[in-house]
Amino acid sequence: SEKPSQPVISAGLAEETVEVKVNYSGARIVLFATAPTGDTATTGMAVALIGPSEPAEVIRRTPAGERRFRFVAAPSVFAIGAERQLAQTVLPDIMIEAGLNAAASAMPRADQLQSPDVDAWRAAFVELKMDQGLYSFNETTIERLDGGLRRARIVLPPNAPPGDYRIRAVAFRNGQKIGETEEKLTLVRGGMDATLFDLSRRHGFIYGFLAVLLGVVVGAIAAWVGRR
């Protein structure tokens, strides 16, 4: 017999493009989504901001020396939030299948997928990203509005790289996924911030030299003003 079709979730972003400038101090991405009818105590929604994907490497220092593990692709940013009731009703494997698990989104080489250490490396990668402020699991809020409408507010990290992002909204009932949708978001950097960001990512030596030079100049000016 055929499986019943999943309910359709409609969603839309308040802004599809976000421009980051020098004085940027963080923003919230707002997503509106409709939830399937028939809400119960076990029905809820989870929303995640994911992307851009790029290769990544984790380095672990041990008494025997450095160990390295390379992921061929992993999201630079992963911010997720879920309604409270989902924590008690949705198993981790279901969240992985729904594309809402940060660790599982880091993809190793095909020959390392069955490595006994892959879970530990993935956990280390997520911890590193959290320390950088690029992964978050408690800063996204989901508010219920009238008519089954949800409003999700997702914190965009100030150091989020430019590129294409995905925003996934998934509805669950009785621990199972019952509907999903995905929207695209473009993050761009404008003005001087675009130049500085490009220097820091592609020309680290030049960026470091300019940063040191700027510090010396500012220090010299401050010393001169102090003498006067």
User: pLDDT tens-digit profile of 85-136?
Assistant: 888 889 999 999 999 999 999 999 998 888 899 999 999 999 999 999 999 9
- The whole-number pLDDT of residue 35 equals 75
* pLDDT value of residue 195: 47
- With CA atoms as reference, report the closest residue to 170 among 1, 50, 20, 22: 50
Is 148 within 8 Å of 12 (Cβ atoms)? no
- The Cβ of residue 30 has, within 10 Å, a number of other Cβ atoms equal to 13
- Residue 161 corresponds to which amino acid? P
Residues 9, 98 contacting (CB under 8 angstroms): no
Q: Are 193 and 26 in contact (CB under 8 A)?
A: no
Nearest-angstrom CA–CA distance, 131 and 60: 15
Tokens of 137: 């699991």
Task: Output the DSSP codes for 15-46.
Answer: -SEEEE-TT---EEEEEEEEPPSS--TTEEEE
CB 56 within 8 A of CB 70: yes
pLDDT in tens, 25-53: 567 889 998 877 666 667 889 999 999 99
